[in-house]
Chain A
């Protein structure tokens, strides 16, 4: 049992070891969590309390029992402060800090020593964090949309002014849409943060109904109102976003690029299919090279003495069909109309390339390169090379008893095929 009835002259040095260790624990718990000045005032108050209580005849054990543990006081204080901070200035970091500190305070307060926020707080907490993540993703998306447009613009021919306007329209349209929704998502996260704070307060009260702390502010912090300048800036940003969105849409609609190209991404269907129909004297063709994206490719025999080329090309691709030195080159290449979605505008199953070779003619070379879709080869070639990434390949077994080395599909099957007689 500690001595009590401390003589006044010795009071300065806190003679009671229990008091000293209590105050040390308070100091340690406060360190880092509160501004130094505030922490010093809290310690000063309790130091005085200890001295006066001991002086008035209480035992150290009594005082310690009445005050409770310093860790608990501090945990409660920090939790309330962080809740207030998150209410005044919501954000993902403030949200997490408040939840973490409240969990700690509850863990100390509850007999079980387990951190408990309760479902009512955890649900909005997780939803709020998810909302902030969505907001961040959308903001990055907006930046990416604008950056992509800037990166793409040198690839567009200077003469294609409609494409340039449409490109700028796309940037404005997507940039503002993503930025706007990111902003709204962030505000949603803020709303959920405030809701979480209400639940955290409730869980604090439940864990420690009579606990008080060194937190000095009264009640919940009022919602921070933006000052005059902030409000004007915000309004300006909102109006700017709406103008950019509307303007971007108008630019897209006004140009040949057309806003309907956006739907290509979703529907995988081109608005127009450009037809190409060509024929070349069979004698002049010794080899065929095909470079395609997603069109279905069929190479078969036709009557007559001409090599025929029938292409249906989506209007975001430029078809080429040229004969030079006996090599017939058939290709579809992006024409810059789909700056963003060049790589995802799949026209698989919608467009096709059909090559007809007169019966009995053997090619020296048949070289097919396709990003996707199905390739069928029904003509003989001395050298056959077929590469697709996603499509299947069928070879007519009459000309190819085994699969030649140069035939390969990255993720599709390769089969030898015999027609029914």
Chain B
């Protein structure tokens, strides 16, 4: 798949996983893992990227004598996700169109 598109989709996926509830690294990988199978190691760069662009903010929570880093979606992140959702809907129409053709003629 096109790397650029894939990166964009991963970003949206991570943002969406944080919509309802904040999460920490491992819990996010579990949440995403339920939806789609991606490499575990794909998560870190996405989180860093989103944090750097201001879509996510982080805070630390003490857990079992250590600090756990939690990620929270920012208003900008929400806006970005909605924007991305519009594009995804367009994309879905396109994909549905293609699949209908393929299946109709298959």
Interface residues of A in 181-218 (CB under 8 A from B): 201, 205, 210-218
Instruction: Determine whether the beta carbon of B52 is less than 8 Å from that of A49.
Output: no
Instruction: Determine whether the beta carbon of B26 is less than 8 Å from that of A218.
Output: no
Instruction: Determine whether the beta carbon of A68 is less than 8 Å from that of B66.
Output: no
What is the minimal beta-carbon distance from B31 to any residue of chain A, in angstroms? Answer: 12
- Any A CB within 8 A of the CB of B4: yes
What is the minimal beta-carbon distance from B44 to any residue of chain A, in angstroms? Answer: 5
- Any A CB within 8 A of the CB of B25: yes
When distances are taken between beta carbons in the complex, the residues of chain B under 8 Å from A73 are 41
Instruction: Determine whether the beta carbon of A214 is less than 8 Å from that of B38.
Output: no
Instruction: Determine whether the beta carbon of B24 is less than 8 Å from that of A213.
Output: no
When distances are taken between beta carbons in the complex, the residues of chain A under 8 Å from B29 are 49
- Any B CB within 8 A of the CB of A48: yes
Instruction: Determine whether the beta carbon of A12 is less than 8 Å from that of B66.
Output: yes
Given A49-B25, A201-B3, A217-B49, decide whether A68 and B40 contact each other with a Cβ distance below 8 A: yes
Question: Which of these, A11, A52, A212, A220, contacts B24 with CB under 8 Å?
Answer: A52
Interface residues of B in 34-54 (CB under 8 A from A): 38-49, 52-53
Question: Which of these, B3, B27, B40, B44, contacts A52 with CB under 8 Å?
Answer: B27
What is the minimal beta-carbon distance from B28 to any residue of chain A, in angstroms? Answer: 10
Which residue of B has the minimal Cβ distance to A54?
A: B26
Determine the distance from Cα of A66 to Cα of B39 in the docked complex, in whole angstroms.
8
What is the minimal beta-carbon distance from A52 to any residue of chain B, in angstroms? Answer: 3
Interface residues of B in 60-81 (CB under 8 A from A): 63-66, 68-69
When distances are taken between beta carbons in the complex, the residues of chain A under 8 Å from B40 are 49, 66-68
What is the minimal beta-carbon distance from A87 to any residue of chain B, in angstroms? Answer: 14
When distances are taken between beta carbons in the complex, the residues of chain B under 8 Å from A45 are 25, 44, 47, 69
Determine the distance from Cα of A210 to Cα of B36 in the docked complex, in whole angstroms.
13
- Category for how many chain B residues contact A: 20 to 34
Which residue of A has the minimal Cβ distance to B53?
A: A218
- Any B CB within 8 A of the CB of A222: no
Given A48-B25, A52-B24, A52-B26, decide whether A12 and B65 contact each other with a Cβ distance below 8 A: yes
- Any B CB within 8 A of the CB of A51: yes
- Any A CB within 8 A of the CB of B7: yes
Instruction: Determine whether the beta carbon of A68 is less than 8 Å from that of B68.
Output: no
Which residue of B has the minimal Cβ distance to A48?
A: B25
Instruction: Determine whether the beta carbon of A67 is less than 8 Å from that of B41.
Output: yes
What is the minimal beta-carbon distance from A124 to any residue of chain B, in angstroms? Answer: 19
Determine the distance from Cα of A284 to Cα of B9 in the docked complex, in whole angstroms.
102
Question: Which of these, B26, B39, B64, B68, contacts A212 with CB under 8 Å?
Answer: B39
Interface residues of A in 33-87 (CB under 8 A from B): 41-42, 44-46, 48-49, 51-53, 55-56, 66-68, 73
Given A214-B45, A216-B49, A218-B49, decide whether A8 and B26 contact each other with a Cβ distance below 8 A: no
When distances are taken between beta carbons in the complex, the residues of chain B under 8 Å from A211 are 39, 41
Most buried by B among A48, A67, A73: A48
Determine the distance from Cα of A219 to Cα of B11 in the docked complex, in whole angstroms.
12
Determine the distance from Cα of A212 to Cα of B6 in the docked complex, in whole angstroms.
11
- Pull 11 A–B residue pairs with CB atoms less than 8 Å apart, ordered by A: A48-B25, A52-B27, A73-B41, A201-B3, A205-B3, A210-B39, A212-B42, A213-B41, A216-B45, A218-B11, A218-B53
Name 8 extra pairs, CB < 8 A, besides A66-B40, A212-B42, A216-B52. A44-B69, A48-B24, A48-B25, A48-B69, A211-B39, A215-B45, A216-B45, A219-B3
B residues adjacent to A (C-beta < 8 A): 3-4, 7, 11, 24-27, 29-30, 38-49, 52-53, 63-66, 68-69
A residues adjacent to B (C-beta < 8 A): 8-9, 11-12, 41-42, 44-46, 48-49, 51-53, 55-56, 66-68, 73, 201, 205, 210-220
